[in-house]
């Protein structure tokens, strides 16, 4: 995910990037430019709900990191729900 701030009018380079560590997992690194500012590890152990281990580098905005984590989790939930809906539609003959 690329994040552009309002002051970045050219949008040639994102101000922040969230890079997934693996395609299957939600673990990610949050970059400010090219510098890592936070690492997020998702632990599935709270009664099926995600728990998080977040390491924030000194000087990074913790609230902004939390916001990005929440956006990524909501996106993951929507992709999972769409995948289940697509599977159900295909099973009912509507997947074409």
Helix or strand or coil: residue 50?
strand
The H or E element containing residue 76 is helix 62-91
- What number of CA atoms fall less than 13 Å from residue 81's CA on the CB side? 6
Contact between 81 and 54 under an 8 Å Cβ cutoff? The reply is: no
pTM here?
0.70
pLDDT tens for residues 47-94? 767 778 889 999 999 999 999 988 888 887 888 888 866 544 444 443
């Amino acid at each position: 995910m690329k994040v552009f701030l309002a002051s970045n009018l050219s949008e040639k380079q994102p101000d922040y990037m969230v890079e997934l560590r693996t395609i299957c997992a939600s673990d990610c690194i949050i970059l400010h430019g090219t510098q890592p500012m936070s690492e997020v590890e998702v632990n599935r152990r709270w009664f099926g709900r995600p728990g998080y281990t977040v390491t924030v580098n000194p000087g990074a905005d913790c609230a902004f990191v939390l916001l990005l984590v929440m956006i990524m989790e909501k996106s993951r939930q929507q992709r999972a729900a769409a995948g289940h809906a697509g599977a159900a539609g295909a099973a009912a003959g509507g997947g074409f």
